[in-house]
Structure 1
């Protein structure tokens, strides 16, 4: 039996060195994302590693220290790279594996542009109390666009799979917003929508908002919205190839569990950020694998 790396290299037409490079980006990040990818075939797994590497690079441009002009320039460079990639030109390891992934799974260029545009929203100026429309656009660009690419790599490009990407992306991003509210405030960011803050008379500045006694009321409403998106994602997943979307099922269960933990902890000071223990991570991954296995037998 060929090793996964060798199999992926032959199938995708990439060097093992390039594939190892994108795999190392995932490993160094210590993300829980990697666990769900282990159920994929080698070529799909390394395709997801390439997508993750791209997202990691542009996200770091937006989040790391640096002047705004340089961040705009670096994001524009990636925006300019996309047409060249789609013309078959790649310059480094990430681009070469990304090019092979784009060609292998017929990924849409606009989804990559949407992700870059989402990073640009964080660079232009700190997002503070966006209106509902802007928040939804942000969630679509930084999360659902990733999902639209991911489901194609997983092996299902149907309309139902695109709906899974739409709803699961929003569910995951809202969960991240609710879990990282204190960290974001430290960066001068506040992703809670202006309309909700004004309804419950919370200040529109990050530090003032997260210390307000009504913060739980606003966050609970967003948590219910995230839960609704998780439910809709499950509904559309049932219409898809269960085997193909097994990684999405694992991510949905994992993040759904995180959301439940954060709701129990609440959002009042002193803030406690929900996280999963190693045992919990193993348990929810196992549940996701079991559900995907049962679904594939129907």
Structure 2
């Protein structure tokens, strides 16, 4: 199975933290991940590009229709390589549709009423990607699926915490409305970048919940599957450090973007790999 060079370009150009984990995969699996990541990136780009929401919804619907034509109706098109990956690693087609449904939520919802609503969004845009990835990584214990679901939610919650300010500048507030009301933080407080005591309490609550999902992911990772999940564990440790840094910087996320340095990401990837390969991981 050969990956389209475009997939390599899209993946490498993204400069995602995930790149630091992909290099530890054998070639066939790495190329499959590149193809999957390129699909996810391009789907996300449809949502994030400029233009009327109605136009982006039409583009997303066409994207889904073409994907279905290739996977279900077996019409050869742009998604041929992705279909080969899905067939080779037995990735259920439903996961792709769930991801697109999550992206559609991004266009139709600028906010979420409750955490249950937000959790569904996190599942669709992140956990489904994890469920697709574990098919490529390979596993034997079905409990790994719960690991992927919880880790996906943890990673997405970390993204939401990091991007509160950036999302607000696009008119989006992912933090649940019920929790904003509980902590007495208004949408205007976020739009106006007001670092109030209530805002800090709200963000501390968000961080503690994200940590709980990291813990749940760890509970569902059997020791015998750690090596298979090396890539996921690298992602987890990088994002865990990012969350810790956000906390150390007192949630200054409204007017800046907290990032990890490249050396920190590389060191985290290498140290995680060495710990797991030599059985030192907890």
Fold equivalence (TM over 0.5): yes
Shift of residue 269, structure 1, vs aligned partner:
7.6
Shift of residue 35, structure 1, vs aligned partner:
1.6
> Would you say 1:89 and 2:75 are equivalent positions?
yes
Shift of residue 206, structure 1, vs aligned partner:
6.6
TM-score by length of structure 1 reads 0.87
Shift of residue 19, structure 1, vs aligned partner:
2.7
| 3-state DSSP of counterpart to 2:143 | helix
Gaps of 5+ in 2: none
**Number of corresponding residues:** 280
Shift of residue 90, structure 1, vs aligned partner:
3.4
CA distance in 1 between partners of 2:247 and 2:210 (Å): 11
Alpha carbons of structure 1 residues 133 and 209: separation in structure 2 relative to 1, 3 Å: farther
Map Cα deviations across residues 9-37 of structure 1 (whole Å, 9 max, x no partner). Answer: xxx2x3xxx53221111111122211201
Map Cα deviations across residues 150-209 of structure 1 (whole Å, 9 max, x no partner). Answer: 111111264211111111101100100011111001000111111211111111347347
Look up the match of 1:203.
Answer: 186
Check whether the contact 2:190–2:254 (CA below 8 A) recurs between aligned residues: no
**More displaced, 173-182 or 285-294?**
285-294
Look up the match of 2:150.
Answer: 167
Question: Of the candidates 218, 230, 233, which is equivalent to residue 202 of structure 2?
Answer: 218
> Would you say 1:184 and 2:167 are equivalent positions?
yes
Task: Please give the residue correspondences for 1:124-273 in structure 2 after superposition, counting only pairs within 5 Å.
Answer: 124-125=108-109, 127-156=110-139, 158-205=141-188, 207-208=190-191, 210-213=193-196, 214-239=198-223, 241-268=225-252, 271-273=255-257
Look up the match of 1:281.
Answer: 265
Please tell me the root mean square deviation across aligned C-alpha atoms, in Å. Answer: 2.2
Alpha carbons of structure 1 residues 271 and 78: separation in structure 2 relative to 1, 3 Å: same
Alpha carbons of structure 1 residues 250 and 235: separation in structure 2 relative to 1, 3 Å: same
Shift of residue 43, structure 1, vs aligned partner:
1.3
TM-score by length of structure 2 reads 0.92
Shift of residue 83, structure 1, vs aligned partner:
2.9
CA distance in 1 between partners of 2:130 and 2:19 (Å): 15
